[in-house]
Every structure is written in C-alpha cells, then in structure tokens.
Structure 1
Amino acid sequence: MSNSGIRVVAIADADSFVKWAASLLGSVPGVRAHLLLVRTPLTVSGEQQRTALVGSSFESKDVTRVGFDELSGWLAGQRPDAVVLAGRGPFVRLMGRVIDSLVHRPVVISGFPGMAIPAQRGALEYRKHADLLVLHSHREVRAFNELGRRIGVQVPTALATLPFAKRRQRILRPERIRLDALGMHGGGATVVERPERTASELSAAVRPAATDIVFATQAMVPATRADRAEIAAMLVRAAEADSRRRVVVKLRSRPGESEAHLEHEPYRALLPDRLPENLVFSYGSMASALDRAAGLVTVSSTAAIEATALGVPVIALDSFGVSKTLLNTVFVGSGLLGGRNEVVAGRFRHAHPAWLRDNYFHPEAESTWWERVEQLVALRRAGALPARRVPAARGGGIHEAWHRVSVLGSEDRSLQGAVALAWGAPAVRALAALRRARASDGGTWADPSTDYTLEPNPFEDSIRR
C-alpha cells in the first residue's frame, strides 16, 4: 500500500505528546499527516508548539487547533484512515469515545512520548481500545505484553524507533572521537575508535564546539523538595567548578504554560536569586540544547536516549536511589548511572553496547510499526477489522461527564460537567488515598525484578490544572 494513499491524523494536547506524534509521523516518508490539537488545560502554547515541531516535517499549515465539541465534525469531514491518540491516559480514553461515534472509523494507534519502563497498569488500561500500541524497545514490548497477560488486557503492540532519537553521531576527526569532559578538571578523557569516513560524511557530521552541561528537568522525579534542592545545589556547584562551561537548565514550559505533568517544586524557585553567570535556563528544543552539549544529566528523562543517539555522554543520577518510583530502573546495566559529584567533575559516560540493542537502539529494520499500520488500514477498509470500543463508564452519565471534565477542565462548560466536578473531585481524592493505603508496602512498584507495575502509580499528578 502506498503511503501517499494513507491519511493519518495525530490528536494531541500536551507538549511531550505533540513532539512525539509529530516526530513519529514525520519519520514515515510520503504519508499524508496532520496534527490536531484539542484545547485542554495542557494544550501547548504557540511557542511550545514551535519547539515541539523542531526537526519534524510538520509546518504550521499542518496543524489545526479545535475545541472538543468541534472534534467529531472535523474528523467526520476529513475521514482519516488512522488516528494517533497522543496524550495522557484520560485524554486517550476521551478521544476514543469520539472515535466510537464516527461512521467511518479510522484505525486507532496510541503510544508514549518516551521511555515507558516500568510498564504501568493504568497506561495500558487507558489504551486498551487501541488497535495498535506503539512501543520503542524490545524491553518495552516484553514488559507490556507481560503486563497485559497479568491483568487480562491484550493490546496488539508494534516496535518503532524512538523518533527523535535517531543516530546522528557527531565526530571531531575521521579516525576517532575525543570527549574530554569539556576540559573539566579531573574529568579524564574517553577515546572511542571509529572507522575512517569519507569527506562528504565528515562534512555532514562535524561536531560543533561542545562545552555545555545540559540538565533535563522532570516534573515528577525526584518528588520531594529536599531532593530537588540537592539537584539545584549540584547545578550551582557544577557552574562554579569551571566558568568556561555553561550549565544549561533545560525547561519545558515558561510561566503560564502547561506541561504533560504538573511540577510541584520548580527548579527556578529552588535555585538562588544570584546565579553564576554560566548557569542559564533554556526553553528551546532538546535537539538545540544538545548541539552544544558535552554532557547531559537527568534522573530519568528520555533526553538521555536522545543524547546517546547524538554521541553525547550522559549521567543518569542515582544519588536518590534506583527504583521504579524514580523511573530509572531502565538504566540498570547501561553504565550511565552516576552521582552528583561525578556531574560536577564532568565524568560523563557512554552506554554499554550490550544494553543498547534491547533499550531503544535496535536495528532500524526491526521497527515494523508502520507496516503493521498499513495492514490494519487494509483490514479496516475491507471491513475485516472489528472495532475496539471504549468501555462505558460504570457510573453512567455522571461518570462519563466526570471523564470529560477531568480532561477538558474549563473548556467543558456544561452543567453536567460542573455537577460531575463537584461530585467527582472529592470522590477521586478519597479513592486515591484508599488505593495508596492499600499499596503501602509498595507492591510491584517496590519489586526490582520486573519491568511492570500492577498498582496505581504513586505520583500526585492530576490532569486538571
């Protein structure tokens, strides 16, 4: 089937999901793709949209913003062959109900905007109506298939290369790469032998001056103010240790903007008022930040994979432990785990080759997700693909209204939504507290021997703002 004959629409709202959907579809040559942004409290601003689309094939003309009430009519008029539902779980469920109302039903694809280890029960249950779940490593495929087997939710999965982590190795000379930790004192040097390359390859791969330490912030981990304050202090120490390098705090939202996850302790508030001149903030794309990076530090951001693809060495902080609640168990065996003192000293490192293939760096030929989409589209056109419908809410109409208002927030102006919000918010808080109490021993979240969890996640991360 020719890609030019397949029309795909990505439906998204939050920043990381917009970046993922645009990069994923932009990696398919010749596909007719469009990005539909639904207005919710998490929807990207214009600046966030421009940043999210950097490096993708999407232009402003390929993006449409709609209210929820306009969504069904827009899709009915455009009749896409497939939709990519790109948002947090409740968003995906709500968009799935719109898909269920269409006469000409598209193939439904969903996925995650980065690393998804551990595979979480809620993440799978919210997407159980999808025709295809796109994952980005062999390890993730195993984890979600095992999770599905344990909870009785079977969703077809397919492997894709993490779209914004394509290998684009930068080099200094044709015979070797020398990453000497920015000239950092005590940092040492790592020399990696490379085969010689042609002049044209060298011209395309010359590495720009790399002097920055880039810190990829995360909203949810670490969770406590004390731990985040320790990271803030580490960043100041790293800047003061060598004034010749910049320490770049890579943020994803400006004041007044939203992110996919709610940040309770922003780093701007934890850093001192008077900062070293070489400690700076950046709101640009991660790709731009990595252009000048000689090292990236994070707790568990997917930016570590993006950096690895570019040949930028990484430290995944283990100063607060390694656990599923820190979302950093994926780095066990990678060789990337390290502490705060190593960041200050510039002792960044590259991932072990044995870890790479199972974790996001499989051969391109093994990424067959688009072939699977083509097969599903052909089946749907032939009437041979049964619909996987979103289950009705067990609480009836008022519960359906709660599902809607919890995603749309103030964009839902219905009386039923207001009633559901007044009833549902305290009920959900009480239920969440009860679930946390029942899982006080940590359950599978505390089990290091698996890559999945069966209990609700422990994060206080309401989708409402």
Structure 2
Amino acid sequence: MPASTADPIRVTVLADSDTRWKWGALTARRIAPEARLDARLLRGRATPTERQLAEVGIPADSMREVTAAQFLAGISRDTADVVVLSCVGGTVQAMLHGLARAWQGAPRRPVVVTGYVGVVYEKLADGLLLRAGADAVLANSAHDAQRFREVYGGVGADAGTVVETALPFLEGKPYEPSGERPFTVVFAVQPSVPDSRKDRTYLLRRAVDHARFHPEREVLVKLRSKPGEHTTHIEEQPYQKLVSKLDPPKNLKLVYGHMGEVLDRTDLLVTVSSTAALESMHRGIPTAVLTDLGIREALGNHHFLGSGAYASWDQIDSGEVPRVHPEWARAQGIASGGDPFRTVRERVTELAAAPGLPPLAPYYTTVTAPGYLPGVLARHGLDPKGEPLPGAATEPAESSALRRTVRDIARNSARAAYRQGVQRVAPVIRRWGQL
C-alpha cells in the first residue's frame, strides 16, 4: 500500500464531530491496524473539544483543526495512502469534488473511503448520493448494504463501491450479570431525538420515577455532551438543565464518559433510538427501545422493527426485560461473528496497489445537478469546479484559545437566535397563516 514496503501505511481521517472522529478513527484502525493515523478535525459548530476527544479515547499520530480549504491544500502535499471522510453527506460531496481537483494530473492518489456513523433511518437517497464517488462506501450491515446498492443501481451510480462491514465500535466483553453491584439501568440520551422540551422532560421524568420505584437499582442517565458542546446534532434542550427541576433521588446519576465503559456496568440499556442500543445488543446486554412517544420515523426507533426490543417505561417499571431476536441482530451486523472488515481491507489493499486509480467521479456534477451542487460546494468554501474560493485557503490561524472563545460566542448567539425563532417568531408566522 505505501510507496515502499519499508514505509508505514498512512491514513488521514477528516471528521467533523466527536462521534464521526470515533467512527473514522476506528474504521481506519480496522482497515489498517498498524497504520500511521493523521487526524484532521473540520472547523465548524461541532468541532470536538479536548474533553470530547479525551472521552473518545483514540490517539492519533498527528491532529490538527482545519477548514475545508486548508484540508484540501494540505492533502495535496501529504503522502496518505487512504483518506477516510467521516463527515456529514454534504461535506463528503464537497470534499470529493475538492479532492478530485487537488489530485488532477497526479500519477497516484489515495484510496477514499466513507460511510455512516450509525443507524441510517432517514434521508437514505439524499445521504447516499452525496457520498457517491468515493472508492468505498461502507455499509454497517447486510441490511444496509442491500439498500445502498438498490439506491445506487436505481440512478446508475456504481453499486460496486458499496462494501458491507459493521460498526467499528461493536466490541467489548459479553454481558454477565453481577451480584456485586446494584442492578444498573442506563438511559442513553440523544442530542436531537426527541427534540422538544416537553418530550425530553417526559422521558427524563420517567427515568427519575423509575429510580424512585426501584430504590434498589442504580439509574444512570448517559449524556453525550456538556452544555455548550456540540456533537453530531445540535442539542437545544440539554438534559442537565431539565433534571434540576425534577428533584431526582440519590440512586439516579448523570454520567459522561466512554460508552463502552458505561456498558461494562449496565444490566439494562434504555434509549429512544441511539446507536448505543446496537453496542448493547452486540454485547448481549438487555436493551429496551422506548415506545412511549410512539414508533415513528422522526424518532428513528422504527429502525428496530422486528428486533423484539420495544418496551415502554411502564413495562420497564414492572420488571420486563426485552431480548433481541437473533435473526434481526444478524441482519443488522450485530454479534454476527467472523471478521466483518476483511472485505474492505482486501478492497482497499487492492486499490492502493493498483498502478493508478481513475479520477474521483462524484455522482453529482454541474451537469446532473446544476441547481443543487454549487450550493453544496459554496457552503464549504468551494467554487463549482471544486477549487477553494479566493482567500479561503489563506485564512489566518489564530490561537486555539481565541478560536475556541470566538466559536463559543458564535455558538451561543446561534442558539439564542434559534430559540428566538422557534419560541417567538414561528408561532406568530403560524398565526398569520391561519388568518
């Protein structure tokens, strides 16, 4: 894969959030376990903080925060063998065009890999076509691989780029009940599901009530981020602020930390639709996917149809413990055994050893999507040809402390504007529409 057998393999991961860094870095390790790992964190609203990176706990040989233009300028000079684009779909599309431009005329180029961080429960065609053009588009299960190929085949894109793998963080020791600690229920929350204050307060109140009903149990509310931090999705109603009004009992605690370490002491995981459910199921931990707010596409819990994991807080309060159906689990790439990354390793090795790869060819072009693609590229500082807009690549590199301060101010202002729009402006507009 590298230029000579004596050179270490180099993998560069571009990530735009803590969760996507986790997926990208672990995917890189599964593809090339001994590779040099270079992290490039895309500057934006969800750029991970030092605390979030420490919580993920995946070291890199180098790590820098970059803009899209800076990444493209640097990648043309770097000697990466593989580039993993672990970003939202629009960013992947912009980087595919930018990389195609940056590598134009080069005798060799790296292999480009992309995929999804977790469950794909919405915007299937939209997200997939934005990723079309990478050398390998990873599907986290046989179920996803079939859906992905159908989408690509349906528009004439290359379905052969879809490679079945599994979520790279499905690991950890199998579940064994422990008599040395209290029975532990973990409520794994999500930043954006549900999104309303009413629904989030309801779920949190039910967790508090469960702790009161079962004083012999320990109830942990597993949080994704601290107030002011962002992850893959914006969290407008942090659970930390909501819990203070509910007077929780002492056996309910808010916890942060690595999900795998929390699962080590979990006897029952409860969630709406978090990817943590798949981690839990993989380890054989009893897992409940909540139905209190319905089974709806907007919540993402429809993904678990046929799993046997559905339960309400009432059922959990009464002592019910769901068990996942093995057939469903296997179709989702959970506890399936074997090495789910063998195929992608072979594919990447074969491509990297080829005398020369063809230029990257994203599905969207200014011919096929002239009213859509330019806007996607412009949001990332690129023109319709994939070149950085004037001045984008030469943005001054201010001190990290100043950058964090400015970014925090901008985030807080954006959240205030968002709340103003949702709570005050939108209701007025709706009333006008009813006149």
Q: Same-fold call, TM > 0.5?
A: yes
Is contact 2:12–2:37 with CA below 8 Å preserved after alignment? Answer: yes
Residue equivalent to 2:417? none
1:284 has 2:257 as partner: yes
CA distance in structure 2 between the partners assigned to 1:59 and 1:401 by the alignment = 31
1:114 aligned counterpart, secondary structure: coil
| Distance change in 2, residues 1:39/1:276 (3 Å) | same
Query: Alpha-carbon deviations, 1:231-282, whole Å to 9, x = none?
Result: 1121111111122332211111112211111123332343342322222212
2:77 aligned counterpart, secondary structure: helix
Is contact 2:100–2:359 with CA below 8 Å preserved after alignment? Answer: no
CA distance in structure 1 between the partners assigned to 2:63 and 2:187 by the alignment = 30
Structure 1 window deviating more from structure 2 (121-130 vs 1-10): it is: 1-10
Residue equivalent to 1:242? 214
1:315 has 2:288 as partner: yes
**Structure 1 residue 12: deviation in Å?**
0.5
1:325 aligned counterpart, secondary structure: coil
Q: Which amino acid aligns with 1:299?
A: V
| Distance change in 2, residues 1:309/1:62 (3 Å) | farther
| Distance change in 2, residues 1:413/1:308 (3 Å) | farther
1:387 has 2:360 as partner: yes
Q: Which runs of structure 2 are paired with 1:42-53 in the superposition (5 Å)?
A: 42-53=46-57
Q: Which amino acid aligns with 1:90?
A: G
Residue equivalent to 1:16? 19
| Distance change in 2, residues 1:211/1:127 (3 Å) | same
Q: Which runs of structure 2 are paired with 1:53-68 in the superposition (5 Å)?
A: 53=57, 58-68=58-68
Unaligned runs of 5+ in 2: 383-388, 393-435
Residue equivalent to 1:101? 101
**Structure 1 residue 74: deviation in Å?**
2.2
Q: Which amino acid aligns with 2:189?
A: T
2:370 aligned counterpart, secondary structure: coil
**Structure 1 residue 116: deviation in Å?**
1.7
Is contact 2:182–2:218 with CA below 8 Å preserved after alignment? Answer: no
Residue equivalent to 2:40? 36
CA distance in structure 2 between the partners assigned to 1:338 and 1:95 by the alignment = 41
Residue equivalent to 2:133? 129
Residue 273 of structure 2: which of 300, 307, 310 is its match? Answer: 300
| Distance change in 2, residues 1:236/1:77 (3 Å) | same
| Distance change in 2, residues 1:78/1:239 (3 Å) | same
Report how many residues are paired.
374
Is contact 2:38–2:60 with CA below 8 Å preserved after alignment? Answer: no
Query: RMSD over aligned Cα, in angstroms?
Result: 3.1
Residue equivalent to 1:455? none
Query: Alpha-carbon deviations, 1:413-464, whole Å to 9, x = none?
Result: 969xxxxxxxxxxxxxxxxxxxxxxxxxxxxxxxxxxxxxxxxxxxxxxxxx
1:163 has 2:136 as partner: no
Is contact 1:334–1:351 with CA below 8 Å preserved after alignment? Answer: yes
CA distance in structure 2 between the partners assigned to 1:61 and 1:282 by the alignment = 29
| Distance change in 2, residues 1:263/1:396 (3 Å) | closer
| Distance change in 2, residues 1:260/1:336 (3 Å) | same
Q: Which amino acid aligns with 1:363?
A: G
CA distance in structure 2 between the partners assigned to 1:310 and 1:385 by the alignment = 41
Task: Spell out structure 1 runs of 4+ moving beyond 6 A.
Answer: 412-415
| Distance change in 2, residues 1:397/1:154 (3 Å) | closer
Q: Which runs of structure 2 are paired with 1:249-268 in the superposition (5 Å)?
A: 249-268=221-240
Residue equivalent to 1:231? 203
CA distance in structure 1 between the partners assigned to 2:374 and 2:130 by the alignment = 19
1:85 has 2:89 as partner: no
1:324 has 2:297 as partner: yes
Is contact 1:83–1:107 with CA below 8 Å preserved after alignment? Answer: yes
1:360 has 2:333 as partner: yes
CA distance in structure 2 between the partners assigned to 1:226 and 1:302 by the alignment = 23
Unaligned runs of 5+ in 1: 172-177, 183-207, 407-411, 416-465
CA distance in structure 2 between the partners assigned to 1:153 and 1:312 by the alignment = 39
Structure 1 window deviating more from structure 2 (20-29 vs 382-391): it is: 382-391
CA distance in structure 2 between the partners assigned to 1:88 and 1:224 by the alignment = 23
Residue equivalent to 2:385? none
2:152 aligned counterpart, secondary structure: helix
Is contact 1:119–1:144 with CA below 8 Å preserved after alignment? Answer: no
**Structure 1 residue 371: deviation in Å?**
1.4
Task: Give the % identical residues.
Answer: 30
CA distance in structure 1 between the partners assigned to 2:155 and 2:372 by the alignment = 24
**Structure 1 residue 165: deviation in Å?**
0.8
Residue equivalent to 2:148? 144
**Structure 1 residue 110: deviation in Å?**
0.6
Structure 1 window deviating more from structure 2 (1-10 vs 140-149): it is: 1-10
Is contact 1:238–1:345 with CA below 8 Å preserved after alignment? Answer: no
Is contact 2:182–2:216 with CA below 8 Å preserved after alignment? Answer: no
Q: TM-score, normalised by structure 2?
A: 0.77
| Distance change in 2, residues 1:313/1:384 (3 Å) | same
Residue equivalent to 2:424? none
**Structure 1 residue 160: deviation in Å?**
1.5
CA distance in structure 1 between the partners assigned to 2:166 and 2:326 by the alignment = 17
| Distance change in 2, residues 1:5/1:306 (3 Å) | same
Query: Alpha-carbon deviations, 1:37-91, whole Å to 9, x = none?
Result: 12112110001111123xxxx4254433333342223212222122110011122
**Structure 1 residue 395: deviation in Å?**
5.4
| Distance change in 2, residues 1:37/1:210 (3 Å) | farther
Structure 1 window deviating more from structure 2 (280-289 vs 341-350): it is: 341-350
CA distance in structure 2 between the partners assigned to 1:141 and 1:34 by the alignment = 28
Q: Which amino acid aligns with 1:337?
A: Y
